[in-house]
Amino acid sequence: MTNYYQKEIETASRDEILRIQNEKIRKQVKHVYENVPYYRNLMEEKGLTPEDIQGVDDIKKLPFLSKADLRDAYPYGLLGVDLKDCVRIQSTSGTTGKRVVAFYTQPDVDLWEECCARAIVAAGGNEDDVVQVAYGYGLFTGGAGLHGGSHKVGCLTLPMSSGNTERQIQFMMDLDATILCCTPSYAAFIGESLAERGYKPEDNKLKAGIFGAEPWTEEMRQSIQKSLGIKAYDIYGLTETSGPGVAFECEAQSGMHINEDHFYAEIIDPDTGEVLPEGSKGELVFTALDKEAFPLLRYRTRDICVLTREKCPCGRTHVKMSKPMGRSDDMLIIRGVNVFPSQIETVLLNEGYTPNYQIEIGRKNNTDTLDIYVEADPTKISDKIADIQDMENGLASAMRTMLGIGPKIHLVPPKTITRSEGKAVRVIDNRKLHD
């Protein structure tokens, strides 16, 4: 039986969701226009006043906000309330440049934690669960979001933060953790570490994992599910829109429901800014419908995905987003060919390798080079150089089929690639194309 945290809204009819969105957007645009001069200027440049936005159909008239705007307006320029009404600051992990700071009022925190609570219940969580939060605590939103969500559901919360894998395992086993929350790369590392200590997947009490904050493939999901003996659910979010929980996976494990009563989603063509019809692949854009302190309208996430309103067996009616392939700026252009690290991960796992890899891009004689470092499988290690070369060539050829360009594969001894406790850094680009 499916459980919901807020059944009424999570399963509301499309008409009802639209009605709520239309009502909220009118209020929100007025709030932003009156309280955020930075955005009012952008609206004025387009000749817009709040009266021009009567419902979500009019959202496409509004100007976009991008990461560059957040940098321009840093730190207080997009604040929608007095600082004294804010109760929290969080910040991005700075994966792609200068950090962004986001502000929250108490209702903003509540709304965010409720979104995370929906995710936990969708993953099968209830007050009997012990939730091990192994996302980083601090400025990063991962720890705080899932922690708050776990409290709201009434789970017993284990605020581990990331790292100290020895202690993670000890507490997981001693305190019978049932739900693990962390990045997928850290989940894979915890699974590997459990096996090394002689634990089998059935030895732990975990039933589910809620993993996000970085791109991960279906193959990675299968691998984590196997190593931990759980169901692994995706969760998505970004600091600019609150944090994790903007979208979450249900039992169908086929895309994440976006909490549409709080966030209006659009898919646009990243080059032209044109809104694309449902089912098209493009850049995800969010409008926060009721956030007070950091009320971003039409924020360009740079994450590339697809939206679908196909009926979901779980009964939730909110639109689903596909796994982001990575952000538009994660896309590598190597010898003119577009390559996403996730494609490399897919090939590696399909070919029986571990998800521990490092991608290095360089330039030699004016040509891009692609080197992929992969750990050899300890059970298949050979002393013969010819065998190693065969394995490397086999993998390089599988990569060429998938990517359209051939990388140089380097098999390295097991455990030599640094494990990630938070967001994994998979790519080293030595070309210095950007600053």
Q: What DSSP state is assigned to residue 370?
A: E
Task: Confirm or reject binding of residue 316 to Zn ion (CB under 5 A).
Answer: yes
- H or E segment and range at residue 334: strand 332-334
The residues facing 284 across adjacent strands are 267
CB of 237 to ligand ADP, least distance (A): 6
Residue of 51, 72, 94, 196 that binds ligand ADP (CB under 6 A): 94
* Alpha-carbon span 246 to 102, nearest angstrom: 15
CA 264 vs. chain centroid, Å, equals: 17
Amino acid at residue number 385: I
Among 136, 324, 355, 407, binds ligand ADP (CB under 6 A): 324
Amino acid code (one letter) for 84: K
In the complex, minimum distance from the CB of residue 234 to Zn ion, in angstroms, rounded to a whole number: 12
Residue 357: both structure tokens together: 């890899």
Among 29, 119, 172, 250, contact with Zn ion (rule: CB under 5 A): 250
To Zn ion, the closest distance from the beta carbon of 252 in angstroms equals 5
**Residue 88 C-beta-side C-alpha neighbours within 13 Å:** 20
Part in contact with ligand ADP (CB under 6 A); list of ranges 10-18, 143-151, 232-240, 402-410: 232-240
Q: Which one, 158 or 247, has the nearer CB to Zn ion?
A: 247
225 binds, among ligand ADP, Zn ion, none (CB under 5 to 8 A by kind): none
Among 69, 113, 129, 214, binds ligand ADP (CB under 6 A): 214
∠ CA 349-353-358 to the nearest 5 degrees?
90
Nearer to Zn ion by C-beta: 213 or 312? 312
What's the rounded Cα separation, in Å, for the pair 104 and 90?
8
* Binding track over 285-304 against ligand ADP, x by CB under 6 A: ----------------x-x-
330: DSSP letter: G
User: Minimal distance in Å, beta carbon 34 to ligand ADP?
Assistant: 27
Give residue for tokens 């996430």. 301
Best CA proximity match to 91, nearest among 150, 142, 149: 142
Which two tokens mark 233? 């659910």
Residue 314 contacts Zn ion per CB under 5 A: yes
Q: Which range in 19-27, 177-185, 224-232, 309-317 contacts Zn ion by CB under 5 A?
A: 309-317
Classify strands 299-308 and 281-288 as parallel, antiparallel or unpaired.
antiparallel
Is 421 a binding residue for ligand ADP by CB under 6 A? The answer is no
322 binds Zn ion (CB under 5 A): no
At residue 228, φ and ψ (nearest 5 deg) are -105, -10
**Shortest CB 324 distance to ligand ADP, Å:** 4
Residues within the interface to ligand ADP (CB under 6 A): 92-96, 212-215, 234-239, 301, 303, 323-324, 327
Residues within the interface to Zn ion (CB under 5 A): 250, 252, 312, 314, 316
